[in-house]
Structure 1
Amino acid sequence: MYKGTFLIKDNRLFFPATNRNRKCIGDLLSTIPLKGGSILEIGSGSGEHAVVFQKRFPEILWQSSDPLLIHRNSIAAWIDYEGLNFKMPQPIDINVENIPWIIPSKVKESLHIIISINMIHIACWNCTKSLFRESSKLLKNGQFLILYGPFKIGNKHTSQSNNLFDKSLKMQNKLWGIRNLEEVSNEAIKNSFVQEKLCQMPANNFSVIYRKVSK
């Protein structure tokens, strides 16, 4: 089930992709003014991104989340391992399709960014729709929803490796697969977001920054 995942110890999971992309994602976040407030991560997985970004941006509060208990246990173990218990909140159980999301009031009141890394291609399309729908309710005008992962552009894969990856995803679950950026952005528009920036990232991935706007 957790192909490419390694259990270190004390419930901590290690996702190899995290080491490869955490710097570039962190560099992208550094271009957005992070003056306090909180960031909600949807689908935090092992929790490695969460603790790295909490340490890199100590002025913000990084709220991790994941629907799987094994992942939440890993996140909690990473928080403890990195000595962040007095700074960083414990992970919360969010299944993106189950709305409204139950979020601590401290996080909800100070929220200014929602981020989801490598999630929408390993979930059904309804999860993407729910992500935009609920994010639109939680974020104020001018605030951001950030997606990271592989995308098709013009309904075409950007590399042969992504094409093969897409096929492997569909073999695991026919509802999974690399999403077409234009379809994702159309869903954004339906929920009062505009595409602010599209950044090409390493390993044929992209970061897409959506900004909430008035209807």
Structure 2
Amino acid sequence: MLDALLSPAAARNAAFIAEVLMRVLPPSGLVLEIASGSGEHAVHFARVLPALVWQPSDPDEAARRSIVAHARAAGLANIRSPLAIDVTRQPWPVTRVNAVVAINMIHIAPWGASIGLMAGAEATLAEGGVLYLYGPFREGGAHTAPSNAAFDDSLRSRNASWGIRDIEAVVAAARAHDLHLVERVVMPANNLSLIFYRGRRGLAVDRESTF
């Protein structure tokens, strides 16, 4: 697999993320993964969730080649060919999905990518569909661990427009696109899983939420 890339982070967190996805994703349907990277997550999730069809995507050509290589090696029928999606460019080249998954994306991109993600998710998710985010977040204006603060400094030194986002800003951006936070799950290594529903299903929870 000459084109296959390997991500140590993906290897470490795939099983933990899969535990949450198995609980919050619909039992069947189409899942769009944004910024799939190496494709290792796509293979792992497609394997443990065989009733779901996994649609990977990435704006980077090398990443898309890696996704294809990993998918071919896995031999799974429920992984589609990767799409070249830049979240800031609307509309996305997919019309309707049951869930959107974005793992370790919004902090390694400008804030405009977070806005684009919410806009695209609103446009493509069916009513009641799930948006799943995973990664580190600031809460109450502060980092949740010294390691996250150091990571944030590292990100901003690489690109001033990158950085760990405030969960409150992310939730507000999502709400502006009819995506409502319904669950916050603490994950290993000071990360969070955030689960949003689109439309009335999430709005009912949002109105009563203490997030």
TM-score, structure 1 as length reference: 0.90
Aligned to 1:28: 20
Conserved in 2, the CA contact under 8 Å of 1:34 and 1:59?
Answer: no
Unaligned ranges ≥5, structure 1: 1-8
Structure 2 distance, partners of 1:24, 1:88, is 20
Structure 2 distance, partners of 1:59, 1:193, is 25
Deviates more, 1:131-140 or 1:120-129: 131-140
Aligned residues between the structures:
201
Unaligned ranges ≥5, structure 2: 204-211
Structure 2 distance, partners of 1:113, 1:128, is 16
Structure 1 distance, partners of 2:147, 2:166, is 16
Aligned to 2:31: 39
Conserved in 2, the CA contact under 8 Å of 1:62 and 1:88?
Answer: yes
Q: Which runs of 4+ in 1 moved over 4 A?
A: none
Q: 1:170 corresponds to which letter in structure 2?
A: R
Aligned to 1:149: 135
1:137 aligns with 2:153: no
5 Å-filtered alignment, 1:132-211, equals 132-211=118-197
**What is the CA deviation profile of residues 142-166 of structure 1, one whole-angstrom value per residue up to 9, with x for unaligned ones?**
1111100000001100000000000
Structure 1 distance, partners of 2:42, 2:28, is 16
1:213 aligns with 2:199: yes
Conserved in 1, the CA contact under 8 Å of 2:52 and 2:78?
Answer: no
Aligned to 2:84: 93
Q: C-alpha displacement at 1:33, in angstroms?
A: 5.2
Q: 1:88 corresponds to which letter in structure 2?
A: I
Q: C-alpha displacement at 1:98, in angstroms?
A: 1.0
Q: C-alpha displacement at 1:169, in angstroms?
A: 0.3
Aligned to 1:119: 105
Q: C-alpha displacement at 1:31, in angstroms?
A: 0.9
User: CA 1:152–1:29 in 2, change beyond 3 Å: closer, same or farther?
Assistant: same
Structure 2 distance, partners of 1:31, 1:87, is 19
Structure 1 distance, partners of 2:149, 2:25, is 35
Identity %: 39
Deviates more, 1:137-146 or 1:155-164: 137-146
TM-score, structure 2 as length reference: 0.92
Q: CA RMSD in A?
A: 1.2
5 Å-filtered alignment, 1:36-115, equals 36-84=28-76, 86-103=77-94, 108-109=95-96, 111-115=97-101
